[in-house]
Chains A and B, each alone.
Chain A
Amino acid sequence: MTLFKQFLGAAATLALSAGAALAEPAVIYDLGGKYDKSFNEAAYNGAKRWAEETGGKYKELEMQSEAQREQALRKLAESGANPIVMTGFAFGDTLNQVAPDYPDTKFAIIDMVVDQPNVESIVFKEEQGSYLVGLMAGMASKTGTVGFVGGMDIPLIRKFACGYVQGVKAANPDAKVIENMTGTTPAAWNDPVKGGEIAKAQISQGADVIYAAAGGTGIGVLQAATDGGALGIGVDSNQNYLHPGKILTSMLKRVDTAVDEAFKAGPDLKPGIKVMGLSDDGVGVALDDNNKSLVTPAMLKAVDQAKADIISGKIKVHDYMSDDSCPVE
C-alpha cells in the first residue's frame, strides 16, 4: 500500500499520463537463464518480490540466443512495457542502438554502462563483496592456498577475482590464489563438468577454499569442492543451501534489490549511472544457518571491520575495470 501512496504522490506531482501509469515493467534475463540459482535468478526474485508486494504484473523474457537480443528489446518496448530491465553486460551494444528509438521508454541495464538519456545503468562494486569473501577464505584456509573459478573470461569476472585476491592477501599476505577462467565463450557459463574438473585441479594443488563466480558452471565447482573436502563460496544469490555446512559463504550481489527498485520507480526511473556497493547494501556476504558452523567469531569481526573500513574509505579495494589490471596476484 505504501508504494501505492508513493505512486499516487508521484502521479500527482508529475502529472503522469494515464497511459504511462498503466505500463507494466518488464525484465529480460540473459543467456544463463532465469533459474541459474545465481545472477538471473536474483533478478527474478526481485521482480517476484515487487509483484508480491504491489500486486502488480510484469512481463519477462528469457534469452535463448544472442540473435534474439534486439528483437526482444524492441518487442517489449513496442508492447508498452516501461521500464524494461535487462540483466547482463551482453545487452550493452544492443541497448545503445535500441534506446534512442524509444525515447519515452525507460531502460535499466545491470552490469553495464550505456550512455543514453533514457537508460539507467546499474553497476555493482563486486570487488568490495569479493574482498569480504576473500578475507573469509584467507582466514578459513588451512593450507594457505585458495582457488577462484570464473566463468567467461571478461573484465567483470576479473573484477570479482581481483577483489577476492585483495581480500585473501589482507587476511594472509603469504596466501596463494589459484585463478582459473572456464572459457572465453558464453558456453563457459553452463559447463559444470569443466567447472568441477578445474576445481579438482585446484584442490590437488592445495586449495581448500574455492570461490566460484561462474553462473551454472559454479554448481559443478561447488559440487567438486564438496566432494573433494574443500569449502566452496557461492556468488550473486545466496547459495549456502546447496551444500549445507560445506559452503563457507556466498558473495551477495543484490540484483534483486536493483530490479525491485527499478520496478518501483516505474516510468520515473532516473537515467544515469547507479552504483551499488557495500554502503547501500548492494553487495555483501551471506550468513545463515547453513554456514553458521563454518564462520568463526573472528571472521565475523574481521568482516564487520573491513566493511566499516571500506565504507569509510580507509580500505580502498582496487576495481579491475578502472584500469584493466590488478595490483595483486
Chain B
Amino acid sequence: MDFATIVELLDSAVRLGTPLLLACLAGLFSERAGIFDIGLEGKMLMAAFFSGAVAAVTGSAWLGLMAGVGGALSLSLVHGMASITFRGNQLISGVAVNFLASGFTVLIAQSWFHQGGRTPQLSGSGRFEPITLPGAEAVKDVPVIGQLYDNLLSGHSILVYVAFAMVPLTWWVLFRTRFGLRLRAVGENPESVDTAGISVVRLRYTAVAITGVLSGLAGTYLATGLAAGFVKEMTAGRGYIALAALIFAKWRPVPALGATMLFGLLEAISNRYPNIDLGVVNLPIQFMQAVPYILTVIILAGFIGKAIPPRAGGQPYVKER
C-alpha cells in the first residue's frame, strides 16, 4: 500500500464519515438533554428527501439544504412533542419517526415526481460541488504535505467543513457556556434544573431542535453532496451506526469525531479491499461491515472503559407537586 492509496482511503473515510459525524453530534445534543433518539435514521431520510426534491425543483443546493433541515426539524418536533410534552416512551416515538419517514418520503416523492419514490437526478448547482481550497493546485506536487492538502483536506463539499467545524463548536457550547451546563444538567438531573428555576421543557425542546438541524445537514449531505438525488431508504442504516458511534464516543464530541471517522475508515477499507488476507485468516467483507457494531458491543460490555449514558436519559420529566 503506497502513500497515495492511504490518502485516497482517508479521503473516502472523510466522505463516508461526515454524515455519521453530523448525525452523531445530532444525537449527542438530544441524548445529553435526556431524550433518547433512535429516530436519527428517519430524520436523515426526511432531510435527504426534502433536500433532493427542493434542489431538483429549484436547481439550488442551498434551498435544498434549507428544506432538508426543515424536514428533519419537523420530525424532531414530533419526537419532542411525543417525548417531552406528552411524556411518551422515547424509544417508541423514535421508531415511529423512522417508520413515518420511510413511508412518507417514498409516498410524497411518487406523487410529486412520478419516478417511483425517487427525486430527479441533480446536476450542476443542484449539488454541493467539491470546493478546492486556496493553493491546493499550487502545492499539489509537494510530497506528503502537498498531497495531503490537495487530496485529503481540499476537494470536499462545504458540508464536510461545516461538520468538522461543528465538533469544536459542540464542545464549546456543551462545556464552556451556561446553556451547555444546563443542557447537560437536564440530562443528568432535571429536578435540580427545575429547582433552579429553569424550564426543563424549554431546554429539552431546544436540544431536540438542534438535533433536527444537525441530522438535517447529515441527510442533505447524503442526497446533494455524495449522491445526486434521493433514492428510497438511501440512509441505509447510517442513523443506527451514528448511534453506535455515539455510545462508542461515550457521548462526548471530540471522541465522536474519532469514532465516526474510524467507522468511515472501516467502510472505506471494506469498499476498497472486500477481502483482507492476513496470511493466516482471510477476513471476509461481512466482518469488516460488522466491526462498528462489534466495537460498540465491546464498549457497552465494559471491556474498554465504561459507557454510562446520561442518567435521566429516556425518562420523561414530571414536575413534583
Chain A positions near chain B (C-beta within 8 angstroms): 33-37, 41, 153, 179-181, 183-184, 187, 190-194, 196-198, 200-201, 204-205, 216, 219-220, 223, 242
Contacts and interface: CB of A to CB of B under 8 A. Distances in A.
Contacts of B117: 33, 35
A179 B116 CA distance: 29
B268 interface: yes
A318 to B, nearest CB: 21
Interface string B103-133: 0000000000001111001000000000000
Interface in B269-303: 271-272, 274, 285-286, 289
30 contacts: A33-B116, A33-B117, A34-B116, A35-B117, A35-B118, A36-B116, A179-B274, A181-B274, A184-B289, A187-B237, A190-B232, A190-B234, A190-B236, A191-B234, A191-B236, A192-B231, A192-B234, A193-B222, A194-B236, A194-B267, A197-B16, A197-B226, A197-B271, A201-B272, A204-B8, A216-B232, A219-B227, A220-B226, A220-B228, A223-B121
A230 to B, nearest CB: 15
Contacts of B115: 35
Given A33-B116, A184-B289, A190-B234, A200 B12 contact: yes
B231 A219 contact: yes
A37 B307 CA distance: 45
Interface string B223-242: 00011110111101100000
B15 interface: yes
A219 B8 CA distance: 22
A184 B116 contact: no
A41 B117 CA distance: 13
B226 A193 contact: yes
B152 to A, nearest CB: 13
Contacts of B286: 184
A43 B286 CA distance: 31
A284 B196 CA distance: 74
Contacts of A220: 226-228, 231
Count chain B CB atoms within 10 A of each CB in A34, A187, A197 and give the residue with the most: A197
Given A35-B116, A187-B236, A193-B227, 11 more contacts: A33-B232, A34-B116, A37-B116, A184-B286, A192-B227, A192-B231, A193-B16, A193-B234, A196-B226, A197-B267, A216-B232
B80 to A, nearest CB: 28
B232 A183 contact: no
Contacts of B222: 193
A180 B272 CA distance: 8
A190 B226 contact: no
Interface in B30-53: none
Interface of B: 5, 8, 12, 15-16, 19, 115-118, 121, 222, 226-229, 231-234, 236-237, 267-268, 271-272, 274, 285-286, 289
Contact of B285 (A181, A191, A223): A181
A193 B20 CA distance: 13
A201 B231 contact: no
Count chain A CB atoms within 10 A of each CB in B116, B232, B267 and give the residue with the most: B116
Count chain B CB atoms within 10 A of each CB in A179, A196, A201 and give the residue with the most: A201
B231 A216 contact: yes
B8 A193 contact: no
A283 to B, nearest CB: 24
A220 B15 CA distance: 14
A290 to B, nearest CB: 14
Nearest to A44: B116
A201 B232 contact: no
Contacts of A198: 271
Nearest to A29: B116
A193 B12 CA distance: 11
A66 to B, nearest CB: 13
Contacts of B5: 204
B40 to A, nearest CB: 16
B253 to A, nearest CB: 24
A196 B116 contact: no
B236 A193 contact: yes
B139 to A, nearest CB: 20
Contact of B268 (A153, A179, A197): A197
A241 to B, nearest CB: 11
A223 B231 CA distance: 13
Given A35-B117, A181-B285, A201 B233 contact: no
Contacts of A191: 234, 236
Nearest to B110: A35
Count chain B CB atoms within 10 A of each CB in A179, A180, A194 and give the residue with the most: A194
A35 B117 CA distance: 8
